[in-house]
Amino acid sequence: MIIGVDAGITSYTEADALAGSLPARLSSAGDLAGIHTATHTVQVGDPRFVVTAFWPPGAHPAGDAVWTAVLAAVPGAGIVLTAPQEQDARTSGPDLAVLGAWVAATRIARGLSGRVVTWPGAAELTGRMPLAEALERGGLDGVEVIGGDPAGPDETFDPLGFVRPRWRADGCVLQVQRGDDGVLVPFEPEHLPR
Partner 1 sequence: MADLPAPARLDRTTAAALDTSIPDANLSQAQLSRRRLLRSAGVIGRVAGGAAVPFEPVVVSGPGRNRPLRDSAVRHWLAGDHHVHTVFSPDGVHTVLDQARHAHDNGLGWMVVTDHGGPTHVRIGAELTAPEVRTARRALPELLVFQGLEWQIPAAEHGTVIVTPGPGDVDLLTEFERDFDANVTGSTAWTRANEALAVAGVRWLGAQVDAGRIHDALFLANHPSRQGLDTPHELRNWRDADPRVAIGFEGAPGHQAAGITAPDGPGESRGYYGRDRGTDPNQYQAYPQESYRTWGGFDWMTATVGGLWDSLLAEGKPWSITANSDSHDIYLHPARRREALTKADFDRDGRYPPPEYRAGLNTKAGDYWPGHYSRTHVGSGTRSYRGVARGLRDGRVWVDHGHLVAHLDVRVRRAGAPPGRGVTIGGTLAPPRGSRVEVTVRATLQDRANGAGFVPSLNRVDLIRGAVRGGPAAERDRFTAPDTRVIRSWDTSGSRGTLTLVHAVDDVDEPFYVRLRGTDGNIGQPGLLGPSIDPSGPRMDPAGAADPWLDLWLYSNPIWVVPS
Chain positions contacting partner 1, by CB under 8 A: 10, 12, 39-49, 82, 86-89, 91, 95-96, 98-99, 102-103, 105-107, 109-110, 112-113, 115, 146-148, 166, 175, 177-181, 185, 187-189, 192-194
CB of 75 to partner 1, least distance (A): 20
Residue 11 or 28 having the CB closest to partner 1: 11
User: How distant, in Å, are the alpha carbons of 8, 32, 123 from that of 46?
Assistant: 9, 32, 34
Residue 29 or 42 having the CB closest to partner 1: 42
In the 3-class helix/strand/coil scheme, how is the chain assigned residue by residue?
CEEEEEEEECCHHHHHHHHHHHHHHCHHHCCCCCCEEEEEEECCCCCEEEEEEECCCCCCCCHHHHHHHHHHHCCCCEEEEECCCCCCCEEECCHHHHHHHHHHHHHHHCCCCCEEEECCCHHHCCCCEEHHHHHHHCCCCEEEECCCCCCCCCCEECCCCCCCCEEECCEEEEEEEECHHHCEEECCCCCCCC
Residue 137 or 177 having the CB closest to partner 1: 177
Residue 91 or 156 having the CB closest to partner 1: 91
CB of 191 to partner 1, least distance (A): 9
Residue 45 or 171 having the CB closest to partner 1: 45
CB of 25 to partner 1, least distance (A): 22
CB of 152 to partner 1, least distance (A): 17
CB of 193 to partner 1, least distance (A): 4
CB of 24 to partner 1, least distance (A): 23
Q: Any residues with CB less than 8 A from the CB of 19 and at least 6 apart, and which?
A: 37, 38, 39, 51, 52, 53, 117, 118
